[in-house]
Amino acid sequence: MKNIRNIFSSRFKSNGSFFMEITVILGFKPKNIDYFKTAFTHRSMNIKDSKGNVINYERLEFLGDAMLSSVIASYLYVEVPSGDEGYLTKMRSKIVSREHLNELGKELNLINLVESKIPTGQFGNNIHGNLFEALVGAIFLDRGYKYCEKFIYQRIVIPYVDIEKLEGKVISYKSLLIEWCQKEKKTFSYNVYEDTGNDDVRHFSVKLSIDKKIIAKARATSKKKAEEKASKRAYFAFQKSISKMI
């Protein structure tokens, strides 16, 4: 890690301050702070090591995602002995959903530690969850599985995981609605079109039809968001029937 340490020498000027902030977030002192500096380095910094390998949080994000899945899967396996593979997979997805990870990243103010040439105000919402995953990846490299597991339990499992509540939580209204339509042998279609109107930012509108009848309409800054919003509205129209499937 010596070469990486030299690369970081001109950054994170207040190393003592960064170390203390990371220590507060983790609840323990890091052994190698460079893992955590990497976890908060955005690709816009365009940093490479002596071998030409890119240094940013994206690889740690990949590792952290795997660690989160592993720890949560183990937790669910023990806590819900009656759950089959499909149930456990669905529950794990709810716990480590992008929405939830974004909330955790925001709660810890991780974006304040990012080194980037892009103003943080220009980042999308997913930056918060990406940083949380990168942080978990850095913990694994720095301290191993046990410390990683302890951090996940303290930050996710203990304060947020309630099996009964999670059973009724919807991750994606679109996926749920499609699953219900297929089960009930109903036809469905999403008619999406660009709808800028008088807005400076491009918008998309969607008309959701079930059995050739328009059930819901929505408008958002992306096709995905517009479809999800319309699906949520349609869900409430058929909530009683769909809820039996959850």
What are 134-191's pLDDT values in tens digits?
A: 999 999 999 999 999 999 999 999 998 888 878 777 778 888 899 899 999 999 999 9
Same domain, yes or no, for 37 and 76? yes
| 194 given a catalytic annotation | no
Catalytic one of 61, 133, 142, 149 = 133
- If asked whether residues 115 and 70 sit together in one domain, one would say yes
The active-site residue out of 21, 61, 65, 149 is 65
The number of domains in the chain is 2
For 150-158, the CB contacts below 8 A with 24+ separation are 151/26, 151/27, 152/67, 152/68, 152/71, 152/72, 153/71, 153/75, 154/27, 155/104, 155/108, 156/68, 156/72, 156/95, 156/96, 156/100, 156/104, 157/72, 157/75
Range of the domain at 215: 173-243
Higher per-residue confidence, 12 vs 36:
36
CATH of the domain at 91: 1.10.1520.10
Q: Which of 132, 167, 202 is the last residue of a domain?
A: 167
Q: What is the CATH number of the domain that holds 220?
A: 3.30.160.20
pTM of the model: 0.71
Q: Is 34 a catalytic residue?
A: no
Tell me: do 86 and 156 sit in the same domain.
yes
Residue 107 has a pLDDT of 94
Q: Which range, of 21-25, 68-72, 177-181, averages the lowest pLDDT?
A: 177-181
Q: Kindly tell me if the per-residue pLDDT of 13 is higher than 50.
A: no
Maximum pairwise Cα distance, the chain: 64
Classify strands 204-210 and 188-194 as parallel, antiparallel or unpaired: antiparallel
